[in-house]
Amino acid sequence: MTLSQRLPYEMLLGWRYTRAGRATRRNGFISFISAASMLGIALGVAALIIVLSVMNGFQKDVAGRMLSVISHVEVFSPDGGALPDAARTLSEVRAHPEVIGAAPFIGAQGLLARGETMQGAIVRGIDPAMEPGVTDIAAQMKDTLLPKLVPGQFGILLGADLARKLGVGEGDQVTLIAPSGQVTPAGVVPRLKQMTVVGTFSSGHYEYDSALAMLHMDDAARIFRLEGPTGIRLKLRDLHQARQVTDELAGSLSGHLLLLDWTRQNRTWFAAVQLEKRMMFIILTLIVAVAAFNLVSTLVMTVQDKRADIAILRTLGASPASIMKTFMVQGALVGVIGTLAGLGLGLLIAFNIDVIVPFLERVFRASFLPKDIYLISKMPSDPQAADIVPIAVISLLLAFVATIYPSWRASRVNPAEALRYE
Secondary structure (DSSP) of 29-71 = HHHHHHHHHHHHHHHHHHHHHHHHHHHHHHHHHHHHHHHTTS-
Residues 380 and 63: their CA atoms lie apart, in Å, by 12
pLDDT at 199 over 80: yes
Decide: 40 and 213 in contact? Cβ < 8 Å.
no
pLDDT at 23: 43
Across the chain, mean pLDDT equals: 83
Can you list the positions of beta strands (E) in 307-362?
A: none
Task: Kindly state the helix (H) or strand (E) to which residue 193 belongs, with its residue range.
Answer: strand 187-201
Strands 231-236 and 155-159: unpaired
Give me the mean pLDDT over the 140-147 stretch: 90
Give me the mean pLDDT over the 163-185 stretch: 84
Least-confidence region, from 24-28, 74-78, 289-293, 329-333:
24-28
Decide: 406 and 305 in contact? Cβ < 8 Å.
no
pLDDT at 68 over 70: yes
Give me the mean pLDDT over the 131-152 stretch: 91
35-63: pLDDT as tens digits: 788 888 899 899 999 988 988 888 888 77
Query: Of 223, 287, 250, 258, which is closest to residue 49 (Cα–Cα)?
Result: 287
Kindly calculate the radius of gyration of the chain based on its CA atoms and give it in whole angstroms: 33
Q: List CB contacts of 413: < 8 A, sequence separation 6 or more.
A: 303, 307, 310, 311, 314, 323
pTM passes above 0.75: no
Coil, strand or helix: which one is 222?
Answer: helix
Strands 155-159 and 187-201: parallel
User: Other CB atoms closer than 10 Å to residue 320's CB: what's the count?
Assistant: 14
Strands 117-126 and 212-216: parallel
pLDDT at 280: 85
CA angle 344, 349, 350 (to 5 degrees): 95
Q: Of residues 278 and 313, which shows the higher confidence score?
A: 278
- For the four alpha carbons of 312, 318, 322 and 324, in that order, the dihedral sign comes to positive
Residues 208 and 111: their CA atoms lie apart, in Å, by 15
At 6, is the pLDDT very low, low, confident or very high (cuts 50, 70, 90)? Answer: low
Query: Of 407, 287, 271, which is closest to residue 338 (Cα–Cα)?
Result: 287
Least-confidence region, from 15-24, 108-117, 215-224, 340-349:
15-24
Q: Of residues 158 and 419, which shows the higher confidence score?
A: 158
Give the residue extent of every domain in the chain. Answer: 7-64+269-419, 78-256
pLDDT at 3: 44
The DSSP code for 275 is H
pLDDT at 21: 47
| Burial of 20 (C-beta count, 10 Å sphere; 0-12/13-18/19+) | middle
Query: Of 42, 66, 30, 12, which is closest to residue 298 (Cα–Cα)?
Result: 30
223-277: pLDDT as tens digits: 888 888 999 999 999 888 888 999 889 888 877 888 988 888 777 777 877 888 8
Query: Of 104, 152, 146, which is closest to residue 125 (Cα–Cα)?
Result: 104
At 293, is the pLDDT very low, low, confident or very high (cuts 50, 70, 90)? Answer: confident
Residues 267 and 63: their CA atoms lie apart, in Å, by 11
95-104: pLDDT as tens digits: 999 999 999 9
8-18: pLDDT as tens digits: 656 666 666 66
At 200, is the pLDDT very low, low, confident or very high (cuts 50, 70, 90)? Answer: very high
pLDDT at 179 over 90: no
380-421: pLDDT as tens digits: 888 988 889 999 999 899 888 888 888 888 777 777 665 665
Residues 131 and 71: their CA atoms lie apart, in Å, by 10
319-376: pLDDT as tens digits: 777 878 887 887 888 888 889 999 999 999 999 988 888 888 788 887 776 665 565 6
Task: Kindly state the helix (H) or strand (E) to which residue 184 belongs, with its residue range.
Answer: strand 173-184
Query: Of 370, 395, 372, which is closest to residue 164 (Cα–Cα)?
Result: 372
Q: Of residues 180 and 216, which shows the higher confidence score?
A: 216
